[in-house]
Amino acid sequence: MKRPRVLIVDDSSVMRKIVERSLRQAGLEIGDVVEAGNGIEALAAVREGAFDLILSDINMPAMDGLEFLRQMSKIEGAKGTPVVMVTTEGSESRVVEALSIGAKGYIRKPFTPDQIKERVSPLLEVLR
Amino acid sequence: MNPALDYKVQSSVRPDSNWTTILEIGAKEVFQIMLHTELTKLPNVEELNASGDVTAMVGMAGALCGVMSIRCTSHTAEKITGRMLGSVGAVDPKDVPDAISEICNMVAGNFKAKITQLAEHCMLSVPAVIRGDDYEMVTVPAGDQVIVGMAYEGAPIWFCLAVHT
């Protein structure tokens, strides 16, 4: 089976590395990982090629994670891509908003690899 | 509308005596989870002033208006960065402000998540970092401050919430 292609969206390059490391530490067999520093870069990446999973921050400059979700849902071929929000944002209303516009889950920073696995595994299982 | 932007809740939450403990617990949790390390008590903390040449800040707006900051030396910031990234040896200098910003962001988020009135009604800005130690932070108008001094591998690290009145 082809390993899932993952897009990690966060304005912190350190956090992008930590998210990728956590996915691998959790034992998830992922393939290519592409990084984006905000929603605009993420949209460009999504237009260039398909992903099996997207992990996105909410609070980012230029374009935040919620606007990215809205814009992504208009891109043919990207609509069904599962997106999990990874954020410090503790507001329930922001989480509900993210879920209402298509996010499949939510991980609050700080997080452990096990917490990432718990949210992401079921989404990757569907690909098998 | 985002609840944090409702004018009725803006600046409506005032610090109380528990906030020092909540900030301490929130900071400890971030270091335990992200760095697998324990922050410890800083000896003679009452006699010390917050210092260090790296300061990360995150703005808070809504039911609480203020700034959460973390301050430490460059050396401590580099050690924290290396630990976060699991690096062996020297860290890339450009990762240091990024890592300290993220720690500050997580401490601010963890702190507000522990205070019911803030969790839903307070937003965080994107972080910023100051390099250098010859500065003084003044809030206008003057407000309350919650300051927690801890030790990271024996070196001081300061967590400060400056609240605007």
pLDDT, residue B4, reads 54
Domain positions in chain A are 6-125
pLDDT tens for chain A, 128 residues long, are 689 999 999 999 999 999 999 999 999 999 999 999 999 999 999 999 999 999 999 989 999 999 999 999 999 888 889 999 998 876 778 888 999 999 999 999 999 999 999 999 999 887 76
Q: Indicate if the pLDDT at residue B140 is higher than 70.
A: no
B102:A17 CB<8 A: no
Quick one: how far is CA B26 from the chain centroid? Answer: 9
Cα(B139)–Cα(B162) distance, integer angstroms: 7
- Residue B93 tokens, joined: 């200098």
pLDDT, residue B69, reads 96
Residues B80 and B43: beta-carbon distance below 8 Å:
no
Buried b (16+ CB within 10 A) or exposed e, B128-142: ebeeeeeeeeeeeee
Element (H, E) at B9: none
Q: Which residue has the tokens 């697998």?
A: B36
pLDDT, residue B165, reads 63
The sign of the CA dihedral A54, B86, A110, B15 is: negative
Band of pLDDT at residue B5, cut at 50, 70 and 90: low
B105:A109 CB<8 A: yes
Residues of chain B found within 8 Å of residue A15, distances taken between Cβ atoms: 98, 102
A90:B86 CB<8 A: no
pLDDT, residue B38, reads 95
Q: Which residue on chain B is closest to A60 by alpha carbon?
A: B126
Element (H, E) at B66: strand B66-72
Element (H, E) at A108: strand A105-108
Select from B25, B69, B26, B64 the least CA-distant residue to B50: B69
Residue B27 Cα, gap to closest chain A Cα (Å) = 10
Query: Residue B69 contacts by C-beta under 8 Å, 6 or more apart in sequence?
Result: B55, B56, B57, B58, B104, B137, B158, B159, B160, B161, B162
Residues B56 and B97: beta-carbon distance below 8 Å:
yes
Residues A86 and B106: beta-carbon distance below 8 Å:
no
Rg of the Cα trace of chain B? 16
Q: What is the pTM of this model?
A: 0.90
A92:B102 CB<8 A: no
Question: What's the CATH number of domain A6-125, 3.40.50.2300, 3.40.50.2000, 3.40.50.360, 3.30.360.10?
Answer: 3.40.50.2300
Domains in chain B, ordered, with CATH?
17-163 (3.40.1550.10)
pLDDT, residue A20, reads 96
Residues of chain A found within 8 Å of residue B120, distances taken between Cβ atoms: 91-93
pLDDT, residue B120, reads 78
The sign of the CA dihedral B30, A38, A75, A91 is: positive
pLDDT, residue B10, reads 57
Q: Which residue on chain A is closest to B110 by alpha carbon?
A: A88
Alpha helices in A1-128 (DSSP H): 13-25, 39-48, 65-72, 92-100, 113-125
In this prediction, residues B101-118 reach a mean pLDDT of: 92
Of the given ranges (A26-30, B31-35, B86-90, B128-132), which has the lowest mean pLDDT?
Answer: B86-90
Residues of chain B found within 8 Å of residue A92, distances taken between Cβ atoms: 119-120
- Tell me the per-residue pLDDT of B29-45, one tens digit each, with 9 for 90 and over: 999 999 999 999 888 87
- Residue B129 tokens, joined: 């970092």
DSSP structural state of residue B90: P
Cα(B49)–Cα(B136) distance, integer angstroms: 12
Band of pLDDT at residue B6, cut at 50, 70 and 90: low
